[in-house]
Structure 1
Amino acid sequence: MPTAPPTRCARVDCYEMATKRGLCDGHQPEPWRGRPAPSKRYGMSSGTMRSLKRRVAMRDYGCCYVCGGEDADELEHIVPVSQGGAARDLDNLGLIHSEPCHREKTAREALEGSRRAREIKTQSQDRTQ
């Protein structure tokens, strides 16, 4: 299948070649820019998060709650806070491997969130008709 010819960065006065989304590597947007820090999202300091992670690691012996493998490296809300899960409840916290367990869980949650948003949009459109 033919590919498009390389193009220059879309930013004015930049002559580098575009790599993704029409921009060069130097002008790519910063991931998660504008997203609040965890202390703002969850209402607790990073010290509190580290303390909770230590407590959960001791409770779970460092095992991932998704696959059961050892050496899980991230603290994760089992039920997302956005879906009503408690931010500080130890029963809602578990250790998870960043790859592939956390990435796959995040993808599943994103699909579920998109599905719910479409349902809500459809329901609101049905009410207005």
Structure 2
Amino acid sequence: MTTTVTIYHNPACGTSRNTLAMIRNSGAEPVIVEYLQHPPQREQLAAMIRDARLSVRDAIRQKGTPYAELGLDNPALADEQLLDAMLAHPILINRPFVVSTLGTRLCRPSELVLEILPNPQQGAFTKEDGEVVIDARGQRVSPGR
């Protein structure tokens, strides 16, 4: 049985790179959507946020984005207005979102991807910063939560 895992990826982001590497460490080759070049459609973005059990506000990236300049910290803004801003400026979409047959997660920290991968980890995995996440038997070393 083939399972599809899709990652909304930013190759410049360490968390996104670690998440992608953990997906591959499970033996899956995901569909990679570089969302800065190919942002999701509005309905798709709204569904990912909903399926990840987040609010639209929780899915907005503030650091390194035009969040403040656009006045998105205004609590009076409706979800529709926030989605409009995210689609107009994809850098505002927090990352990485991963969608699999087992669910959708905003993988911050990257280890959250382990909750929705259909296959177990195939071997050891160490994050870019040196943190060991998976041991040589493919078992989680520390929960990270």
TM-score normalised to the size of structure 2?
0.21
Q: Which has the higher strand share?
A: 2
Structure with greater Cα Rg: 1
TM-score normalised to the size of structure 1?
0.22
Greater relative CO, 1 or 2 (CA 8 Å, sep 6+): 2
